[in-house]
Amino acid sequence: RKGLHIERPEIIEQQANGEESCAFSPAPENTSSEHFEEPDRYKGGIYICSNVKHANKVWDALVDKNAKGLVEPDGGCEHLRKFIGVGTKLPENQLVWMTDRTPREEIAMKTSGHQQYFQVVASDISVWYENCYTQNPLVSIPEGVKIIKGD
């Protein structure tokens, strides 16, 4: 995705009065969410890596999941850029762990070439972007996960 975003999107909720509001998609109740436990020991979260220098940028920040309306329904949070500093451009071939509420940005390559990139989600998910991710044919998408079609 283009621009500053987080991986946990907000979802549109239909209120009793017919109005729509946004709220963070809830993590399953049976998980304690992702977190750093000790050096080299993480629970859940997301791992990313690219073979291209500075193809990704991450921020040492965490978007508050209790602040309704803080991010767009697709996880976009470009409006927060001025509050969270400059971020860190990732070197090539460095595996990085982050939470699904860590702001990040994918940066276009300056020259043409091939990029190898992967992202592994290591915790329960609430949303599956059908056009963005490749499903493992040996693992079914869990019940209760919202499947979003399109970009």
Per-residue model confidence (pLDDT) at position 16: 56
Backbone dihedral angles phi then psi of residue 12, each to the nearest 5 degrees: -85, 125
Per-residue pLDDT of the chain (151 residues; tens, 9 = 90+): 789 998 876 655 545 555 544 444 444 333 335 555 666 667 778 889 999 999 999 999 988 877 778 888 778 899 999 999 999 999 999 999 888 889 999 999 888 999 998 888 776 667 777 887 788 889 888 887 778 787 6
* Residue written as token pair 């071939």: 93
Residue 135 CA, distance from chain mean position: 16
Looking from the CA of 55 toward its CB, the CA atoms found within 13 Å total 21
Rounded to whole angstroms, how far apart are CA atoms 95 and 26?
27
Contacts of residue 136, Cβ cutoff 8 Å, sequence gap at least 6 = none
Per-residue model confidence (pLDDT) at position 92: 95
Per-residue model confidence (pLDDT) at position 65: 76
